[in-house]
Amino acid sequence: MRTRVFRLLTVSIVGPLAALTLSSLVIALSTDRFLDVRNLQNLSLQVSIIALIAVGSTLVILTGGIDLSPGSQVAVLTMLLATFVKFQHQPLSVAIPEIVLIGGGLGLVNGILVAYGRIPSFIVTLGTLTAYKGWAFLFNNGSPIFSVSDQLEPIFYGTWLGVPRPLYYVVILYLIAFIFLNYTIPGRAIYSVGGNEVAARLSGINVARARLLAFTLAGCTAGLAGVLMTARLNSGSPNYGAGFELQAIGAAVIGGASLAGGYGNILSTLLGALTIVVVQNGLNLNDVPTSWQQIVLGFIIVFAVGVDSWRLQIGALARRVLPAAVLRWSRAAPVGQAVAPTGRSEREVPEITGPRKEE
């Protein structure tokens, strides 16, 4: 049992962990402000929203789909939350669950079109990216809604035991997602559909339902992100959330998820999100202009997808460069389904492992 949990946790975590460590190291060397406590707290706030959305993006990517709409979903949801609270005077205890559910509804629309309409997810969510954004402009004549409620800010800026509250949300959501993906039947179905859709159908799995579920849950995570966004700025705006989808997809991909579906580990997605935010933060601290930051971020994500495609060659390189012990550890294969993408380079390194001993 001990080895099993250990394996689940280490699966595909080595690469993303190395990426995060390396980028942190470079930035820490370039400026001493990086490791400042205030900066680290700031980092945790910055990462929280992207990290929440990235859970949804990972679910969709695991089914072999892609979700481009969460940024626009966030925009609508901040406007809805601001409207509910400021103009309709709903208490937060009602409005927040509503927002999460409505987020789920937005995801459900994507899911229905993809799963039952059999329209490619790229096109469906590219369409809803625009449509949801347009909807956000229908509220308050398209103007942002400021000063929503005094009670909102503590949700984002409050601390508990000296740790910023958003960190707790992130940890809790990732734990739930980890359990969902690794220890439930629908979670397993998501991996199966992404791994081989035909085999999944022939094995009696409800392929459409798995897709629908992934998109719906992605909408719920966009709902959570929308709440945090509204709390962060105490306002709703149709312009919030722009570009979040790329950062969230980037987090999943840097975390090792394959855009072909079936391969990926939710905990590595968190490392991917951290990597993106750390890099942005480091560029900020070194006074790199925003325009250049965007250029860098864009290429990092493209490169991360490339790493997925070049995996076999990288595996061959790793075999030549890394000591066998490291490879063996990093290849610790899954018990459940959270197969390490590094597993795909197994063909490249077969000599150095024998059958594993259990018991």
CB neighbourhood size of 228 (10 A): 24
Q: How far is the CB of 327 from another protein (least distance, A)?
A: 15
| 317's tokens | 């390189």
| 211's tokens | 């897709």
Work out whether strand 159-160 and strand 163-164 pair parallel, antiparallel, or are unpaired. Answer: antiparallel
Amino acid identity, position 285: L
Q: How far is the CB of 188 from another protein (least distance, A)?
A: 6
Mark 332-351 with x for binding to another protein (rule: CB under 8 A) and - for no binding. -xxxxx-x---xx-xx--x-
Q: How far is the CB of 57 from another protein (least distance, A)?
A: 18
Q: How far is the CB of 252 from another protein (least distance, A)?
A: 15
Find the binder of another protein among 96, 106, 170, 200 (CB under 8 A). 200
State the Cα–Cα distance between residues 224 and 245, nearest whole angstrom. 14
State the Cα–Cα distance between residues 265 and 277, nearest whole angstrom. 19
Q: Which is nearer to another protein, 180 or 215 (CB)?
A: 180
Q: Which is nearer to another protein, 53 or 332 (CB)?
A: 332
By CB under 8 A, the residues from 16 to 55 that bind another protein are none
Q: Which is nearer to another protein, 70 or 343 (CB)?
A: 343
Question: Which single residue is written with the structure tokens 């790493």?
Answer: 307
Question: Which single residue is written with the structure tokens 């995801």?
Answer: 107
* Residue 328 engages another protein in binding (rule: CB under 8 A): no
Give the DSSP letter of residue 164.
E
Q: Which is nearer to another protein, 159 or 356 (CB)?
A: 356
Going by C-alpha positions, the residue among 175, 182, 174 that lies closest to residue 335 is 182
Q: Which is nearer to another protein, 196 or 293 (CB)?
A: 196
Q: How far is the CB of 187 from another protein (least distance, A)?
A: 8
Question: Which single residue is written with the structure tokens 């208490």?
Answer: 91
Q: Which is nearer to another protein, 4 or 295 (CB)?
A: 4
| Helix ranges restricted to H, the chain | 2-10, 14-30, 37-62, 70-82, 92-115, 121-136, 153-157, 165-183, 185-195, 197-202, 207-233, 244-254, 266-285, 290-309, 311-321, 324-330
Q: Which is nearer to another protein, 96 or 190 (CB)?
A: 190
Q: How far is the CB of 318 from another protein (least distance, A)?
A: 17
Q: How far is the CB of 184 from another protein (least distance, A)?
A: 6
By CB under 8 A, the residues from 244 to 263 that bind another protein are 262-263
| 31's tokens | 């400026």
Q: How far is the CB of 224 from another protein (least distance, A)?
A: 22
Q: How far is the CB of 13 from another protein (least distance, A)?
A: 17
- Are the C-beta atoms of 192 and 200 separated by less than 8 Å? yes
Quick one: residue 234, left, alpha or beta (phi over 0 = left, psi -120 to 50 = alpha)?
A: left
Mark 159-198 with x for binding to another protein (rule: CB under 8 A) and - for no binding. --------------------x--xxxx--x--xx-xxx-x
Q: Which is nearer to another protein, 4 or 21 (CB)?
A: 4
State the Cα–Cα distance between residues 186 and 193, nearest whole angstrom. 10
Q: Which is nearer to another protein, 182 or 234 (CB)?
A: 182
CA-to-CA separations, 187 to 46, 151, 208, 258, in angstroms, rounded: 28, 35, 14, 17
Which positions lie near another protein, rule CB under 8 A?
A: 1, 4, 8, 179, 182-185, 188, 191-192, 194-196, 198-206, 262-263, 333-337, 339, 343-344, 346-347, 350, 355-356, 358
